Structure 1
Amino acid sequence: MIHKVELEVGGRTLTIETGELAKQADGAALVRYADTVILSTAVSAKQPREGVDFLPLTVDYREKAYAAGKIPGGFFKREGRPNEREILISRLTDRPIRPLFPEGYCYDTQVVCFALSADQENDPDILVVTGAAAALVLSDIPYETPLAGVRMGRINGQFVINPTYLQMEESDLQLTMAGTSEAVVMVEAGAKEVSEEVFLEALDVGHRQIRRIVEAISELTRKAGKPKRSWSSPVPNEVLRQRVEEIVAPGVRECVRIKEKLDRENRMEALLGQVVGQVLGEYPEVAEKEIKKVFEEIEYREVRSNILQNGIRADGRGLKDIRPISIRIGILPRTHGSALFQRGETQALVVSTLGTSVDEQRLDDLEGKSTKSFMLHYNFPPFSVGESTPLRGTSRREVGHGALAERAIQPVLPKSETFPYTIRIVSDILESNGSSSMATVCGASLSLMDGGIPLATSVAGIAMGLIKEGNEVRILSDILGLEDHLGDMDFKVAGTRRGITALQMDIKIGGVTQQILSQALAQAREGRIHILNIMDQVIAAPRTEISMYAPRIFTMKINADKVREVIGPGGKMIRSIIEETGCSIDVEDDG
């Protein structure tokens, strides 16, 4: 039996239905907004995965070419590996639903979403988020918190709910958010130097729309939701917990105060080895993973309590302190622009390269064909964290971090009319202890200025964290990897002195209040200005000339009726000019 709910959002009808498609999945939802249609499904294993103590969740979004009336290109004429857009939407969907699963749920779970119809006006990403959450709450999987996604734009000072692609071109804000009826759980945004106050207002307006959609999903669940299955999480061994506590708690308390990352990790590893050996000798029936789990819980508690009670972090900083920063520019002799940005134990080597229109990236997706003249690629090799793993293709995380940094830099780039170059930035993370994507933003700004690219102003980024226990709240500036891992929020904010250009918020708790977001944004602004002051001491304005090794582009206008003469019969004239001068020539139809 088909069940559906409808409501108007942003002047268009949003429909969520279940009961017709994918009935053998544990849960399925069909979401329609105007003529864009998304099918979301959820399936979870009936038995927990052996040997894991985390949620093995996979979220995959795929776009069907037929959704836009297209046939895929290439030899095989079928959809292949996920493209960058599909990866980003998969991540966007994963991030808000992951923290809302019950603690201790270690069952393989897969959420698969297909774009079945695309009207080429409405971005499907927020529908994928909404559909994935709807499929989960409708299923018998023990996921019970409905959430929804909306997009906020701002045109001429007025907020627009779920703007179309055309409206987004005019908007100075593109904010994608997800939330429950109680709180916001995920935010991702790009903006043209928008103030913190505008962001907070946009979040408030967007959350009101989210509540309406969540209520509709709850209504659908009451009509068609399946009873939740029973499941079990491992029962804590209190005797084991107490024994591990006796052996290592004082040592862990000391270790989490060691300032250097590698020294701290080595000491913790030695301490873990000691307690594993001792406890296994006393309780041979206990599994090693149980001891490790208790050890990690003690580490979690000690790091957080030191921050909450004493206001002191693992590396000895206060809550608002920024790690020491060092900067070098122009360090690579033959590149077009380069910078080495170091903040604490995080180091990014960022290089800018200029090209011509021939180097633009050609895109062909559900939106249609387009070109892209600015690219930022982020690489995170294993040696940056002292690990030895195979070098494979670009990871989802690398794609996501690169896209965030790209959004942060985009608003300050020169217009193509005045600077007709293709720009590629590559950030290689050489060391990492937290905030590597924000180090990429800082390094990218410095690298572009070193290369003579006429940026409007400098851009810096900072990652904020949160430790929350009951009513006790501590917001951290410039978080370490340890604080990211053991904290409750990762809130990355990038921007200029005038305002925010990009932000991304992920949380591990049920949501954050407007008050916490306001405090985090204000504290992030303080940190951003501090970093910009240091960056401007090294280079405050772009170099007056581009690199001598960069291509030179000269643009001239000729009469449209003379284009054929310039090209010549069969291209003879233009080929002879290219052969004589060694340059490349690109002639547009309009001259």
Structure 2
Amino acid sequence: MNLNTLAFQPIQQSINLGQGAEISIETGRIAKQAAGAVVIRQGDTMVLVAVCHAVPRQELDYFPLSVDYREAVFAAGKIPGGWFKREGKATTKETLTSRLIDRPLRPLFEEGYNAEVMVTAQVISYDGIHAPETLAMTGASAALIISEIPFHQPVGGVRVGRIQGQFVINPTIIQRKESDLDLLIAGTKDAIVMVECGAQEVNETDMVQALVFGHNHIKTLAKFQEDFKAKVGKPKVKVEKKSIDTTLLQTISSTYRQDLLTALTLKNKLESYKAIDQLKATVVETHTAEQPERKGEVKACFDHLKESIFREMILQKGERLDGRRFDQIRPLNIEVGLLPGAHGSALFTRGETQALVTTTLGTQDDIQTIEGLEDEVKKSFYLHYNFPGYSVGECKPNRGPGRREIGHGMLAERALAAVLPDRKENPYTVRVVSDITESNGSSSMATICGGCLSLMDAGIKLKAPVAGVAMGLVSGEGQFVVLTDIAGQEDHYGDMDFKVAGTTQGITALQMDIKVGGITTDVLTRALDQARKGRLELLESMGAILAAPRSSFAKNAPQMASIQLPKDKIRDVIGKGGATIRNIIEVSGCEVNIDDNGLCQVAGPNQEKLQSALKMIGDLIQTAELGKSYLGKVAKVVEFGAFVTILPGLDGLLHVSEMAAHRVKNPSDEVSEGQEILVKCIGIDEKSGKIKLSRKALLPPATE
């Protein structure tokens, strides 16, 4: 009997990018009630992506796109931890990947479309070899392309690594550990639209080559999706585009243009915003007194005029709103060590953007453990970014970090992690917190600069100082202008937000978002070169305040030391059932942790307690030295001699023939259990490690 009477007719298509397993897309089997749904697969990693849309809402002046990426741990054959044993709120990785999907898609929907769109991506199988993030990025585009939603340009997502100088497309999990570059790129067949990158001081020329290498493969993915759309694509929804009333725009421009220009060029951000809002209210009131239903049109004309003034100043007059040159950084004010209770602190102010950044040094007990699809990951460095409402003068309660805060924090963490010393030079777990206390653009870059200074103030021996600068782009009329250190208005009305962080030697982190169709290699090259100039200028200014890390760790930081235990001594320090190590912790008041390789790390509140713990451990791992004398304690008397404890946990045999200068018949006549005696080590067996002791060697020779 055939039970599968309901037949599916899935459509599948595959492609190989030339390295690794092929990528396949299938539709028609799962989630058929969604507007568009695909299962995208590489190896045994599979991601289900479904997209839906609601009825357009003409009253909205924004595009309500939502992206939700989730990694169900059943995909890797796991059960969630915790009490409830089910997935909860989005993890940091899920939030970051949701942003990776959202950012390249958002600017490419048809202009004027304002229906709610929901993109859901779920990892349903994971093989531990092929990462799901780029699959989700490409799969989201494919699901949109074949749906009726007005999304027309296919987007491909790829990861570029570099191993031994050679670029690798979509490297496996193992290959990524060998790579000095982790570059995520999204783009259309014509241009790159999004970049997210961490790197080990990669120079600008190599970075451009990596971007070009990645985009060449994106073109293949875009063609792949176009072919798939030709097979299964639905007719697209028609969008009613809102047009600007040119007569109304001309009327508003002729009357208020100069006043608006004056408001836009006020040096103080809050004063400028207030003047613009007041002028807008006047314009709306004046032009809607008799026609209140035109309020939306009037506001749209005012906003259009504001943007056009900004663009005309940049492209035609060659001027920025605040009067700076295109490659000029805002004035700086830098302080370090201003918080005496923190282990490291810095206040970094650039124009009207300010970050108060602190560094806290912790112990191994503060290491963050992350569970997910992959094997358990332990992080000894993490950075948290906070953006309170008061930083922009708003009445906004603190409800915890949102997607933006998590994304900015991870960008800064990635930029600084590349220059952290290894565990031998820095035994601490390090937490950096950036509180944005004022904001007018580029707050994540202020976090990187302040974070670097804060780490050095705490005594962390960074490989090199790191600085970050945000670049902008204004394009049109066949030309483009790249702006250094963009402020809020430039970020809002510009075409690009390109954040670049690094050292004097190269780039450690990149993040780029495009609001137009994409940018070319020429623009990327100009932006990276101009960013390097700004970065070097920042590093010079930072170096004038704090040229190198403090010579020692903060005095109020936990006192730490490491001991490499011999393998045969690890059990002695731990003791039966952990009794010995628990006793050390209780008596000394220190934290003691031993890893699988025998590296013992000890942390105490002060040097006295630290040295106490180190002495207890040192006593346990001592070994006997040939020819050395020890004051030992008789542990047991036997008929052929006695066993003497010469070091904690270490006994040696005192043979009856070595007990005295004269002949001894009964060992108990010479020694008794618990008695302290002076003995000398006269032999150590190379194979067994057994120790031979002598008391006779320390006594005067017998007299006749």
Residue 269 of structure 1, CA deviation: 1.1
Separation of aligned partners in 1, 2:267 and 2:428:
44
- Which residue pairs with 1:30 in the alignment? 39
8 Å CA contact retained: 2:382, 2:413: yes
| 2:181 aligns with one of 164, 173, 178 | 173
| Match of residue 136 from structure 1 | 144
> Aligned to 2:583, which of 573, 576, 589?
576
- Residue 476 of structure 1: aligned partner: 483
CA displacement, residues 132-178 of structure 1 (integer Å, 9 cap, x when unaligned): 01110100011111010111011111111111111111111110001
Contact 2:99/2:403 (8 A) holds in 1: yes
Q: Percent of counterpart pairs with the same letter?
A: 50
Residue 270 of structure 2 aligns with an amino acid whose one-letter code is L
Q: 2:60 aligns with which of 28, 52, 59?
A: 52
In structure 1, how many angstroms separate the alpha carbons of the residues matched to 2:188 and 2:531? 25
Partner of 1:429: 436
2:329 matched residue in structure 1: 322
Residues 43-101 of structure 1, C-alpha deviations (whole Å, 9 max, x = no match): 111x2225311111001101111100011112221111000000000000000010101
Instruction: State yes or no: 1:116 paired with 2:161.
Output: no
Cα shift readout 1:538-589 (whole Å, capped 9, x = no counterpart): 1111001000111121111223333333233443332332233221111335
Question: What residue in structure 1 maps to residue 530 of structure 2?
Answer: 523
Pairing partner for 2:153 from 142, 145, 152: 145
1:62 aligns with 2:70: yes
Matches of 1:587 and 1:501, distance apart in 2: 32
In structure 1, give the amino acid aligned to 2:174. Answer: L
Distance 2:578 2:438 in 1: 51
- The amino acid that maps onto 2:257 is A
Q: Distance in 1 between matches of 2:474 and 2:567?
A: 64
Counterparts in 2 of 1:10-21, with a 5 A limit?
A: 10-21=19-30
Task: Name the amino acid aligned to 1:195.
Answer: N
Q: Secondary structure at the match of 1:555?
A: strand
2:346: which partner in 1? Answer: 339
Which residue is 1:463 aligned to?
A: 470
Q: State which drifts further: 446-455 or 288-297.
A: 288-297
Aligned to 1:7: 15
Aligned residue among 571, 582, 585 for 1:564: 571
> Hey, what does 2:393 align to over in structure 1?
386
Out of 557-566 and 318-327, give the one that drifted further.
Answer: 557-566
AA partner of residue 87 (structure 1): T
What letter is aligned with 2:21? R
- Partners of 1:109 and 1:438 lie apart in 2 by 31
Give the total of aligned pairs: 589
**1:225 is aligned with what amino acid?**
G
SS at 1:254 equivalent? helix
Q: Which has the greater radius of gyration?
A: 2
More off after superposition, 238-247 vs 266-275? 238-247
Give the match's secondary structure for 1:365.
coil
Distance across 2 between alignment mates of 1:305 and 1:590: 64
Letter in 1 for 2:556: Y
Q: Which residue of 1 aligns with 2:285?
A: 277
CA distance in 2, matches of 1:516, 1:485: 19
Paired with 1:554 and 1:224, the residues of 2 have a C-alpha distance of 64
Give the direction of change, closer, same or farther, for the CA distance of 1:338–1:212 in structure 2 (3 Å limit). same
For 1:513, the aligned partner's letter is T
* 1:259-314 superposed Cα distances (whole Å, 9 cap, x missing partner): 2211111110110111111112142332x333222211111110111011111111
Q: Report the TM-score, using the length of structure 1 for normalisation.
A: 0.98
Is it true that 1:192 corresponds to 2:200 in the alignment? yes
Contact 1:362 1:370 in 2 (8 A): yes
Q: 1: CA distance between counterparts of 2:560 and 2:440? A: 40
Q: Which residue of 1 aligns with 2:102?
A: 94
Aligned to 2:458: 451
Partner of 2:256: 248
Aligned to 2:358: 351
Seen in structure 2, the aligned counterparts of structure 1 residues 54 and 590 have a Cα distance that, compared at 3 Å, is: closer
Report 1:367-386 matches (<5 A).
367-386=374-393
3-state SS of the aligned residue for 2:376? strand
1:439 matched to 2:449: no
Q: Is the 8 A contact 1:449 1:455 kept in 2?
A: yes
Kindly indicate whether the alpha-carbon contact (under 8 Å) linking 1:495 and 1:528 is maintained by their aligned counterparts in 2: yes
Using the alignment, how far apart are the partners of 1:589 and 1:182 within structure 2? Answer: 51
Question: Which letter maps to 1:230?
Answer: K
Give the Cα–Cα distance (whole angstroms) in 2 for the partners of residues 366 and 313 of structure 1: 47
Amino acid of the structure 2 residue aligned with 1:20: R
Cα deviations across residues 8-29 of structure 1 (Å, max 9, x unaligned)? 1222111012122111111111
User: Corresponding residue for 2:697?
Assistant: none
Supply the distance in 1 between the matched residues of 2:120 and 2:246 (Cα, whole angstroms).
39
Amino acid at match of 1:13: E
- Residues in 1 aligned to 2:558 and 2:92: alpha-carbon distance in whole angstroms: 28
Cα distance in 2 for residues equivalent to 1:103 and 1:340:
41
Once structures 1 and 2 are overlaid, which stretch shifts more, 495-504 or 388-397?
A: 388-397
Say if 1:4 and 1:17, in contact at 8 Å, map to a contact too: yes
Aligned 8 A contact 2:49 2:120 in 1: yes
After superposition, what is the alpha-carbon deviation per residue over 1:317-345, rounded to whole angstroms, capped at 9, x for unaligned? 11111100110000000110000000000
- Cα offset, 1:506, TM superposition: 0.3
Distance, in Å, in 2 between the alignment partners of 1:231 and 1:390 is: 37
CA–CA separation in structure 1 for the residues paired with 2:298 and 2:123:
44
What residue identity is the alignment partner of 1:444?
A: G
Give the secondary structure class of the aligned counterpart of 1:145. Answer: coil
Higher relative contact order (CA 8 A, sep 6+): 1
In 2, Cα distance between equivalents of 1:590 and 1:435: 43
Instruction: Verify the 8 A CA contact 2:244 2:300 in the aligned structure 1.
Output: no
Structure 1 residues 284 and 563, CA, compared in 2 at 3 Å: closer, same or farther?
Answer: closer
| CA–CA separation in structure 1 for the residues paired with 2:399 and 2:169 | 40
Cα distance, 1:528–1:227 mapped onto 2, change above 3 Å: same
Instruction: Write the distance in 1 (CA, Å) between the matches of 2:596 and 2:16.
Output: 44
Once residues 469 and 306 of structure 1 are traced to their aligned partners in structure 2, the CA distance between those partners, rounded to angstroms, is: 12
User: What amino acid sits opposite 2:300 in the alignment?
Assistant: K
Letter in 1 for 2:133: D
Whether the 8 Å CA contact 1:53–1:104 is kept in 2: the answer is no
Q: Could you tell me which residue of structure 2 aligns to residue 416 of structure 1? A: 423
**2-side partners of 1:190 and 1:590: how far apart?**
29
Q: Secondary structure at the match of 2:234?
A: coil
Mapped to 2, the partners of 1:295 and 1:566 lie a distance apart of: 74
Equivalence for 1:225: 233
In the alignment, residue 33 of structure 1 is paired with which amino acid? Q
Structure 2: distance between partners of 1:231 and 1:513:
28
Alignment partner of 1:301 is 2:290: no
Task: Name which of structure 1's ranges 374-383 and 292-301 shifts more when overlaid on structure 2.
Answer: 292-301
> Unpaired runs of 5+ in structure 1?
none
What secondary structure, in the 3-state scheme, does the structure 1 residue paired with 2:48 have? strand
Change over 3 Å in CA distance of 1:26–1:68 after alignment to 2: same
Q: Distance in 2 between matches of 1:578 and 1:357?
A: 14
Partners of 2:362 and 2:429 within 8 A in 1: yes
Distance 1:34 1:426 in 2: 39
Deviation at 1:488, TM superposition (A): 0.2
Report the equivalent of 1:206.
214
Give RMSD over aligned pairs.
1.3
Q: Work out the CA distance in 1 between the residues paired with 2:576 and 2:14.
A: 61
Deviating more after overlay: 234-243 vs 359-368: 234-243
1:491-526 deviation digits (Å, cap 9, x = unpaired): 000000000000011000001000010000000000
Is this contact kept in 1: 2:110–2:239, CA < 8 A?
Answer: no
After superposition, give the CA deviation of every residue in 1:155-203 in whole Å (9 maximum; x if it has no partner). 1111111111111111111100011111111111110000001011111
Q: Residue 550 of structure 2 aligns to a residue in which SS? A: coil
Indicate yes or no: 2:53 matched with 1:41: no
Alpha-carbon distance in 2 for matches of 1:590, 1:241: 72
